Structure 1
């Protein structure tokens, strides 16, 4: 009971403007990550990063607003964090785009001087356009043309030659059961006879569904 009273007191002491903006930013980030990014990429690690970036950038920007510091200071702080986090780790262009969208929404929701309706319209417009772009609607592509990217360790380096690309696709499809559309060779280790491949496949909801039971991946496969 004491904990409940302390929690209610803490909430009552917070400005209503802060709580509304925080709830709106969380809702926008949730829709962006849970229903747009994750179904297409299946990247849990970066999904967690997107959530935390959205929260921390919002909090930093809101504090800067109350201290009357320039907003450029917040962008500079985000740039420093981004360099420290992603300086040595490869990240796709799409993931960087989602990271930018999350950051932009957090800054907008923390610093924007709009009405609640304006906030809802702006956030909704960003999410709608992102969803249409993710599904390929803006390019006139069918929904099934979406691709899921995964990184695999592959031991048959003899098949990575350009003239054997068809054999490589056939072997990967047979061993994984995925509908693989294209493959990029990112790294080759001739000492261990292992190649690192970036595999693009069409999403297969029935096969990925939990109610059909887990399907073990090959030992050489690792999700990106």
Structure 2
């Protein structure tokens, strides 16, 4: 009776298109929910607690949903690999045609695209166990990098330093201590890039660790307003 009912539902067509295919619809629903759960875990529980960027949270969720549905809808067309690579190419172009996106946020964007493509385009030759393992590996690697490896944020900055007597190798500890005191940064290493003996200055690249609760320090010089001729 149930089989006959399913056949009756499948027989209903609107303008030559089936009203519903129960088997395919159930697979779409299952894959969509699975992809949505993976996306929420990565974005809500790994990315968002550190960035607090609701705008990127919105972008990632929309991208994930749209890419998944587009890829799944076109899965019957033999464009799977080429289509996936084309998506990455399009987003690469968008990267250079829009406002600058931080490299970390761009990486998460590619991560969302990649996960959605994997979860939508894998055919029946890939078991659900393999698909689950693939997503768990991505989540585990992202968790390790975000929660453990990136906890001690490291950055660098180029400065002009006038106490040229401290650039001697044997006074490196004094140099680092002086820069720490004057900048308030947790400097742990320095590199002497250039020395100007005419002006008794040196260009030094300092490497420092940031507190995980403190945002990155801008390395750009403040913009100056050009003088106005009277």
Question: TM-score, length-normalised on structure 2?
Answer: 0.57
Determine which of 146, 155, 160 is the counterpart of 1:134: 146
Q: 2:29 is matched with which residue: 19, 22, 26?
A: 19
Which of structure 1's runs of 4+ aligned residues deviate more than 6 A?
A: none
8 Å contact 1:64–1:71 — kept in the other structure? no
Q: How does 1:116-195 map to 2 (within 5 A)?
A: 116-137=128-149, 143=151, 145=152, 162=160, 169=184, 180=214, 183-186=217-220, 188-191=222-225
Deviation string, structure 1 residues 143-166 (Cα, Å, up to 9, x no partner): 5x358xxxxxxxxxxxx9655886
| Structure 2 counterpart of 1:100 | 110
Following the alignment from structure 1 to structure 2, what is the Cα–Cα distance between the partners of residues 181 and 65? 42
> Over alpha carbons, which structure has the higher Rg?
2
Greater percentage in helix: 1
Pick from 48, 53, 62 the counterpart of residue 72 of structure 2: 62
Provide the C-alpha distance between the structure 2 equivalents of 1:46 and 1:86, rounded to a whole number of angstroms: 17
- Structure 2 gap segments, 5+ residues each: 1-18, 162-178, 186-211
| Pairwise CA distance, 1:66 | 2.0
Which residue pairs with 2:62 in the alignment? 52
Aligned-partner SS, 2:222? strand
Q: Is the 8 A contact 2:68 2:120 kept in 1?
A: yes
Shift of 1:169: 4.9
Q: Under a length normalisation based on structure 1, what TM-score does the superposition of the two structures give?
A: 0.59
Which blocks of at least 5 consecutive residues in structure 1 are unaligned? 1-8, 148-159, 171-177, 193-224
Cα distance in 1 for partners of 2:120, 2:110 equals 15
Higher relative contact order (CA 8 A, sep 6+): 1
- Structure 2 CA distance for partners of 1:106 and 1:13, relative to 1, 3 Å: same
Q: Given the superposition, is the C-alpha separation of residues 94 and 146 from structure 1 closer, same or farther in structure 2, using an over 3 Å criterion?
A: same
User: Which string of whole-angstrom CA distances, capped at 9 and with x for unpartnered residues, describes residues 103-137 of structure 1?
Assistant: 11111100113222222221111101110111224
| Count of residue correspondences | 160
